[in-house]
Each structure stands twice: as C-alpha cells, then as structure tokens.
Amino acid sequence: MNWNTCIRQIHRWLSIAFTVAVIINVVAMAQEKQAIWVGLLALFPLILLLLTGLYLFALPHAAKWRSVRGISG
C-alpha cells in the first residue's frame, strides 16, 4: 500500500473517531454528573486529524515543488 493512501485512510478513520467522541461528549454534557476526561476525549483524534490533514494538504504543493525542482535541477 502506498504511504499517501495509508495516511488518507487513517485520516478517514480518525474523522469517524472524532465524530463519535463529539457525540459522546454531547451525551455526557446532557447528564448531570460530568467527567473531565469526557471533555478531553475528542482532543486526541482532533490533534491527529490536524497532523494528517496538514500532511494531505501539503502533498500537492510538495509534488509541484519536486516537479519544478526536477526539471530545473
């Protein structure tokens, strides 16, 4: 499997995990007794989503940079 395809698949699964964590957070807020760790539950997938998203965002720019550099260099 290609490295970029693997990152893209991880990003998709992280988005599902983040959505589930947000739903759990909303349900926990509706209850009277709240736990602090539930509020932090969505941060872990969110940070990983940020990292993988930045990588996927930079891919086309890096490919352009490599192709221009390869032609001139």
12 assigned to some structural domain: yes
34 assigned to some structural domain: yes
1 assigned to some structural domain: no
* pTM metric for this prediction: 0.77
Domain count, the chain: 1
Beta-carbon contacts of residue 49 (< 8 Å; ≥ 6 apart): 11, 14, 15, 18
Query: In tens digits, what is the pLDDT along the chain, a chain of 73 residues?
Result: 688 899 999 999 999 999 999 999 888 888 877 777 887 888 999 999 999 999 999 988 877 777 776 665 5
Expressed as residue numbers, the domain containing 14 is: 6-72
| Per-residue pLDDT, 72 | 58
46 assigned to some structural domain: yes
